[in-house]
A and B are shown apart, each in its own frame.
Chain A
Amino acid sequence: MSEPQSALPGAAFTGAAQITETGLRGMITLKGDLSATKLKNIAKKVSGVDMPEKRGANIKGDNGLCWMAPDELLILCPHMDAPTIVTQIDKALKGTHYLAVNVSDARAVFRVDGQGAREVLAKLTPADLHPDSFGPGEIRRTRLAQVPAAFWMTGPQTFEIVCFRSVAQYVFDLLSNAAKIQAQVDYF
């Protein structure tokens, strides 16, 4: 069998922040009634973290649960675990109204790390990225220039970004351009 490949293997740029393509990541879209006990239990079980609050992102290593919409969660996991987790969810939620889809290979993941990380993203999104407004524990679905994306923070200066795989090169170029050392604004 052929080996799975991430969108831009090894892509990296260093400037005001370090931009890297993180490689493959497991991602499962789970839609359904987020207040249902069965759904909450299986989400917790497969991710090892608590159900997130509105706009919350509970991340532990490669695993996590992100609140995407009032009826949608994003489950993060190691890439190879995703098919098994979908099977587990299907088994647990059989007969209820839900949808669980492995979207891992439809996505690309980037990390923006370093002192300038906030500023790099703030140049590309209308989201309020002031440290008082956005920090670890939260996910923000928004746009980066012309494409939809979502990000969360894994540390005080580290963002992880997911976007559609088809626009991976576009997003990498955006981030790299915004991180050019000559283009620093030092706003935050």
Chain B
Amino acid sequence: MLILHCPHCGIDCDETELSPGGEAHITRHGPGASDEKVEEYLFLRENPKGVHFERWRHSMGCGKWFHAARCTMTLEVFGTYPAQTTEPPESIRKILSEKRPGWSWRDFA
């Protein structure tokens, strides 16, 4: 069973208290953007073996969105952080660099 720490209410939530929200850090390319950018926003997703960033909502709890950094291979949870950000915070990158040296994900490393 996956357990994620909700950074908003501080509860270590069982997966069944959460709703998955897909991939994190997606830029919303709206009206006026090129076809390529809209395609990227709507359809193009990572499919990594290893470090991955996801969105989750504490839907059966405080109701807030947060992000999780996880490993798709070992299911290790590196950390969670509030969703009010466009990139993984320094604290999470530090953990990743220690545990998965040389990691990269989209433009982040």
Contact = CB atoms under 8 A, between A and B. Distances in A.
Interface stretch (B59-67, B86-94, B101-109): B59-67
Contact of B10 (A54, A142, A143): A54
B8 interface: yes
Given A54-B9, A55-B9, A141 B14 contact: no
A141 B62 contact: yes
B60 A143 contact: yes
Contact of B9 (A70, A126, A143, A148): A70
User: From DSSP, what is the main secondary structure of chain B's interface residues?
Assistant: loop
A69 interface: yes
Contact of A142 (B8, B61, B64): B61
A126 B64 CA distance: 18
Category for how many chain A residues contact B: 10 to 19
Given A141-B61, A148-B60, A70 B17 contact: no
Contacts of A68: 62
B16 interface: yes
Given A126-B17, A143-B16, A70 B10 contact: no
Contacts of A127: 11
Interface string B5-24: 00011110110110000000
B60 A142 contact: yes
A69 B14 contact: no
A123 to B, nearest CB: 14
A126 B13 CA distance: 8
Contacts of B63: 69, 72
A143 B17 contact: yes
A141 B60 contact: yes
B64 A69 contact: yes
Contacts of B14: 126
Of listed B14, B60, B64, residue having the most chain A CB within 10 A: B60
Interface in A2-41: none
Contacts of B13: 126
Interface of A: 54-55, 68-70, 72, 126-127, 140-143, 148
12 contacts: A54-B9, A69-B8, A69-B63, A70-B64, A126-B13, A140-B11, A141-B61, A141-B62, A142-B17, A142-B60, A143-B17, A148-B60
Question: Would you list the 7 A-B pairs with minimal beta carbon distance, nearest first?
Answer: A126-B14, A143-B60, A69-B62, A141-B61, A148-B60, A70-B8, A126-B16
